[in-house]
Amino acid sequence: MNTLNTFYNGKEITKENLLSLIKECIEEGWQDSDLQRNTEIALEKIYHGQYDGVDEDIQFILEELNSKTKWGYLYPNANLQDVEIIIKASEGSWYFQED
């Protein structure tokens, strides 16, 4: 059975759904967020997209969230903590870090 990977809320992993998750957290002021503050700042930069390379940053995150092994997705039912892991694993190679 070939099913698509989804976020924890059941929505497909897409740019629009990723940005929607980030927007929801921004609107709630990151209340009860388990993310580190520097991750929240990075996600705000990605959400607002006011820098060159934002599309590449988002595409990389989506590709990582959808990556699979023969046993299944590396990030099943993904959430923003998974995005934090991806950001930290590639520290220093993000376009949002260039400003």
Residue 72 placed within a domain: yes
Residue 66 placed within a domain: yes
pTM of the model: 0.91
Element (H, E) at 60: helix 54-65
* pLDDT (0 to 100) of residue 71: 85
Residue 2 placed within a domain: no
Distance, in Å, from the CA atom of 98 to the CA atom of 3, rounded to the nearest integer, reads 36
Model confidence at 91, pLDDT cuts 50, 70, 90, reads confident
Model confidence at 55, pLDDT cuts 50, 70, 90, reads very high
* pLDDT (0 to 100) of residue 99: 60
Q: Can you say whether the dihedral through the CA atoms of 37, 41, 46, 52 is positive or negative?
A: negative
Residue 88 placed within a domain: yes
Domain extent, residue 89, equals: 15-98
Q: Which is nearest to 67 in space by CA: 91, 97, 90?
A: 90
pLDDT in tens, 75-86: 899 999 999 999
Residue 10 placed within a domain: no
Residue 79 placed within a domain: yes
Give the chain's mean pLDDT: 92
Count: domains in the chain = 1
Cα 73 to chain centroid, rounded:
15
Residue 5 placed within a domain: no
Distance, in Å, from the CA atom of 94 to the CA atom of 98, rounded to the nearest integer, reads 7
Residue 67 placed within a domain: yes
Cα 27 to chain centroid, rounded:
17
Q: What share of the chain is helix, strand, coil (3-state, %, to 5)?
A: 50, 10, 40
